Amino acid sequence: MFKINKKIEYALLSLNYMRRKEAGQLTSAKEISSVFNIPFAPTARVLQIMAQNGVLQASQGVHGGYRLKKKLSEISLGDLNNIIAGPIQIASCSKHAGACNLTSLCAMTGSMNALNSKVQNLFNTVILEDFFNQKGLDRAKIT
């Protein structure tokens, strides 16, 4: 079964929550993990990763937290996936995953790589702002 990584889910929950706050208002990992009843450590790590990659701005200190730095209209689901989990790898033979031990015997490697590219292209067409406004897949085109 193809599933979005849990860390991506935590990132999406966090970004959707943060976009509803007033501009500049900080959000902590503790707040997000409490509101959504999700584990603190992976949530905190996802927020750190997004801050290191320019999606969020981090503020240190007792009353610190995170705020949106980049507009959600400028970030695709593919961008977020690459930041959090790395390139999409739907099979072990995909070009980003390396080769599996069946590559030399398998006639599907090319097809799997093509499918992997289509999934990546689809993720790249889903803009987070539209996704959160439930328009995310209306405009997505698989090529």
Spatial distance between the Cα atoms of 13 and 51, rounded to a whole number of angstroms = 15
What are the extents of the domains in the chain? 6-68, 72-132
What are the distances in angstroms from CA 113 to CA 15, 82, 95? 30, 17, 7
Instruction: Provide mean pLDDT across the span 39-62.
Output: 95
First to last CA, the chain: 22
Which DSSP letter does residue 137 get? T
pLDDT at residue 143, rounded to an integer? 43
Instruction: Provide mean pLDDT across the span 42-56.
Output: 97
pLDDT 10s digits, 107-142: 777 788 888 889 999 999 999 999 999 865 555 444
pLDDT 10s digits, 83-106: 999 988 887 766 555 566 665 667
pLDDT at residue 124, rounded to an integer? 95
**What fold characterizes domain 6-68?**
Arc Repressor Mutant, subunit A (1.10.10)
Q: Which residue has the higher pLDDT, 72 or 109?
A: 72
Mean pLDDT of the chain: 86
pLDDT at residue 95, rounded to an integer? 59
3-class SS at 101? coil
pTM, entire model: 0.84
